[in-house]
């Protein structure tokens, strides 16, 4: 059992390293095989429906070099009027990884809205760790993101 946990942790750290080197220059995380922000999920829906909702190819918008998908025309318009309100922090990269001065994918099902901002995390165990000390992690992540943004 212990060796299984170590293997999972090693694979997670390896995936962080791969994503860090491959994606560090991108302002919005989109993955390797498409240009969809938040894997095509509607970021406005996190606020209005309090859950991840898949976007539709009928309602798309390009913002910061990524394609953003929405479930309704209304949500697309809301985002277009105020993208900073709805876009996930740190370009959709994992908030916990950013606090550790790394980049890793933020995944749509693992999210938190805190102080009216959307944060994504890599998986449920990372969400649980991040939520336990959000303020400290956000402070560190904000510092690292600002440094990356200027490079």
Q: How far, in Å, CA of 97 to CA of 122, rounded?
A: 8
Tokens 């510092």 -> residue: 143
pLDDT in tens, 29-60: 998 889 999 999 999 999 999 999 999 999 99
Q: What pLDDT was estimated at residue 33?
A: 87
Q: What pLDDT was estimated at residue 32?
A: 84
Which residues are CB-neighbours of 56 under 8 A, at least 6 positions away?
69, 70, 71
pLDDT in tens, 68-122: 999 999 999 999 999 999 999 999 999 999 999 999 999 999 999 999 999 999 9
User: Does residue 4 surpass a pLDDT of 60?
Assistant: no
Is the Cα torsion angle 148, 28, 116, 120 positive or negative in sign?
A: negative
**By three-state DSSP, how is residue 108 classified?**
strand
Q: What pLDDT was estimated at residue 150?
A: 44
User: Does residue 20 surpass a pLDDT of 50?
Assistant: no
**By three-state DSSP, how is residue 99 classified?**
helix
Q: What pLDDT was estimated at residue 80?
A: 98
User: Does residue 17 surpass a pLDDT of 90?
Assistant: no
Pair of tokens at residue 28: 């919005």
Q: What pLDDT was estimated at residue 92?
A: 97
Domain ranges of the chain: 28-86, 88-151
């Amino acid at each position: 059992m212990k060796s299984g946990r170590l293997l999972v942790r090693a694979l997670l750290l390896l995936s962080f390293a791969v994503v860090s080197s491959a994606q560090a220059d991108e302002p919005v995380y989109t993955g390797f095989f498409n240009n969809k922000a938040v894997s095509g999920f509607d970021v406005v829906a996190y606020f209005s429906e309090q859950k991840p909702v898949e976007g539709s190819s009928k309602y798309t918008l390009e913002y910061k070099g990524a394609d953003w998908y929405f479930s309704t025309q209304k949500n697309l318009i809301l985002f277009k009027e105020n993208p900073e309100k709805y876009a996930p922090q740190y370009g959709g990269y994992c908030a916990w990884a950013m606090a550790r001065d790394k980049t890793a994918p933020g995944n749509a099902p693992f999210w938190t809205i805190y102080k009216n901002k959307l944060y994504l995390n890599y998986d449920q165990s990372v969400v649980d760790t991040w939520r336990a000390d959000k303020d400290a992690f956000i402070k560190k992540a904000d510092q690292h993101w600002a440094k990356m943004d200027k490079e």
